[in-house]
């Protein structure tokens, strides 16, 4: 019965949004402009080049090489194949929705099962370090030390979720004999894969086509949700969400003036974080709400992840459930990290990291690209270091 109602409700919602866009064309334009600027200056330089690079690395066999080397680490820790290590590294450094994009590619290449893919998606779609440490901590809160707290709580919460999901899923028998000669097996896979791959020109063109499709799909969701939030804010619908948020904040002893931040963050994380930074509340309370919103990630980003997984056979249900769990875990970890009063004094320090002016379009694009490129290199370097550790442990 409920499944029959969903198409009708979807059509009604789409028609209502269209009417609202016609009634408020100015707000629609401003929302679309904000979404387009966010997509062009942050998401494109932070994701698009690395979509292409990871697609090429996957075709060249480098991901499969890491899979062989890191199997002895990934299986005991997350109960996932070694190839998932590449998704974990990229998902934790490149931001939304890199984890979903790479997980789908691994599943399509038969590098993991559907159950493993669903667990992998559930804990590898994170905010990027660029977004947390620079855009949020410095750009919004003007507290660089706050970025350390938010980053620690955000990534530790997702790692904890990955471990819990691995413990709760059926484990494959771990055979020690299969892990011998890891380096020889990994090099064999690396040198054998290019022989069966397509020419470089065709390989690169296919990677660009797939990456362009993904980044444009993400841009469409960002623009639509930016318009939706603008329309909600000028109607009474947004206020309806604020009442339960205010009640929840009062029950847990937080400042109820943060209700608008939570209500907005339910839809779009960045706008919710911006409202949180402007709210008349204590810095510790702002940190708690910001941490929860980063864990929840907003319906806009959840829709992006869902669109990436659409048609792949990977269900996003576990991903939705873990967003609630990550928001809870992140809030708890932030609460623990801010118990020390001396640490709270550090959180009140003025910002010292300069950001390029948002009015300089190309300088902001270059800044975001270079910053993300550093984390991309760190992620690949970390995989090599972990591979060396895996080889060393395997010899004993």
Q: What is the pLDDT of residues 199-258, one digit of tens each?
A: 777 778 888 888 888 788 878 888 888 888 888 878 777 777 788 888 888 888 888 888
Nearest to 375 by CA among 56, 45, 38, 39: 45
Our count of domains for the chain comes to: 1
Instruction: Kindly state the tokens that stand for 275.
Output: 């409202």
What was the pLDDT predicted at 350? 42
> Does residue 11 lie in a domain region?
no
Rounded to the nearest 5 degrees, what angle is found at the Cα of 93, between the Cα atoms of 90 and 98? 50
What was the pLDDT predicted at 173? 59
What was the pLDDT predicted at 352? 37
What was the pLDDT predicted at 283? 86
Neighbouring residues of 202: CB distance < 8 A, sequence distance ≥ 6: none
> Does residue 18 lie in a domain region?
no
Give start and end residues of each alpha helix (H) in the chain. 2-23, 25-38, 44-60, 62-78, 84-94, 98-108, 114-124, 129, 144-168, 182-196, 200-233, 237-251, 259-267, 269-278, 283-296, 298-309, 317-337, 341-347, 361-394
Q: How far is it, in rounded angstroms, from Cα 389 to Cα 396?
A: 11
Give one DSSP letter per residue of 94-161, joined into a string: H-TTHHHHHHHHHHHTTSS-HHHHHHHHHHH----HIIIIIIIIIIIS--HHHHHHHHHHHHHHHHHH
Q: What is the domain range of residue 204?
A: 38-168+183-394
> Does residue 4 lie in a domain region?
no
pLDDT tens by residue, 364-373: 667 767 766 7
CB 351 within 8 A of CB 142: yes
- pLDDT in single tens digits along all 396 residues of the chain: 555 676 677 777 777 878 888 888 888 888 888 888 878 877 787 778 877 877 777 777 777 777 777 777 788 888 888 888 888 888 887 777 888 888 998 898 888 899 999 999 999 888 888 788 877 887 788 888 888 899 999 999 999 999 999 888 887 655 444 455 666 666 666 666 555 556 777 778 888 888 888 788 878 888 888 888 888 878 777 777 788 888 888 888 888 888 888 888 888 887 788 888 888 888 889 999 999 999 998 888 888 888 888 888 899 999 999 999 999 999 999 999 888 756 555 554 443 344 444 456 667 667 767 766 777 777 777 777 777 776 666 665
What was the pLDDT predicted at 97? 81
> Does residue 17 lie in a domain region?
no
CB 131 within 8 A of CB 140: no
What was the pLDDT predicted at 341? 57
Q: Within 10 Å of residue 139's Cβ, how many Cβ atoms?
A: 17
Neighbouring residues of 185: CB distance < 8 A, sequence distance ≥ 6: 68
Nearest to 267 by CA among 236, 230, 225: 225
For the chain, give the mean pLDDT. Answer: 79
> Does residue 342 lie in a domain region?
yes
What was the pLDDT predicted at 272? 86
Rg of the chain (C-alpha set): 22
Rounded to the nearest 5 degrees, what angle is found at the Cα of 131, between the Cα atoms of 116 and 223? 85
pLDDT tens by residue, 294-315: 999 888 888 888 888 888 889 9
């Amino acid at each position: 019965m409920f499944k029959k109602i969903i198409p009708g409700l979807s059509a009604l919602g789409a028609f209502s949004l269209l009417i609202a866009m016609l009634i408020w064309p100015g707000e629609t334009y401003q929302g679309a402009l904000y979404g387009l600027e966010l997509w062009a200056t942050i998401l494109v330089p932070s994701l698009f080049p690395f979509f292409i690079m990871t697609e090429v690395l996957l075709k060249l066999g480098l991901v499969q090489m890491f899979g062989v080397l890191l199997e002895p680490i990934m299986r005991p820790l997350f109960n996932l194949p070694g190839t998932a290590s590449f998704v974990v590294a990229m998902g934790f450094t490149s931001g939304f929705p890199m984890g979903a994009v790479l997980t789908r590619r691994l599943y399509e290449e038969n590098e993991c099962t559907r159950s493993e893919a669903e667990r992998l998606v559930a804990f590898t779609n994170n905010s990027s370090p660029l977004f947390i440490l620079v855009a949020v901590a410095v750009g919004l809160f003007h507290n660089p030390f706050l970025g350390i707290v938010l980053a620690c709580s955000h990534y530790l919460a997702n790692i904890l979720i990955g471990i819990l999901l691995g413990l709760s899923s059926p484990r494959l028998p771990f055979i020690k004999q299969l892990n011998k000669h890891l380096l020889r097996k990994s090099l064999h896979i690396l040198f054998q894969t290019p022989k069966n791959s397509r020419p470089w020109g065709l390989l690169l063109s296919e990677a660009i086509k797939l990456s362009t499709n993904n980044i444009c799909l993400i841009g469409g969701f960002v623009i639509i949700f930016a318009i939706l939030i603008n329309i909600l804010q000028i109607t009474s619908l947004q206020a309806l969400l604020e009442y339960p948020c205010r009640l929840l904040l009062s029950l847990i002893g937080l400042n109820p003036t943060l209700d608008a931040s939570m209500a907005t963050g339910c839809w779009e994380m960045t706008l919710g974080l911006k409202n949180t930074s402007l709210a008349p509340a204590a810095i510790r309370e702002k940190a708690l709400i910001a941490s929860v919103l980063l864990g929840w990630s907003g319906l806009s980003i959840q829709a992006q992840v869902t669109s990436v997984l659409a048609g792949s056979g990977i269900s996003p249900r576990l991903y939705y459930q873990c967003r609630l769990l990550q928001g809870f875990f992140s809030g708890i970890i932030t609460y623990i990290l801010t118990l020390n009063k001396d640490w709270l004094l550090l959180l009140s320090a003025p910002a010292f990291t300069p950001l390029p002016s948002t009015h300089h379009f190309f300088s902001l694009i270059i800044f975001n690209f270079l910053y993300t490129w550093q984390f991309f290199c760190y992620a690949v370097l970390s995989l090599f270091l972990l591979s060396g550790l895996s080889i060393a442990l395997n010899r004993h």
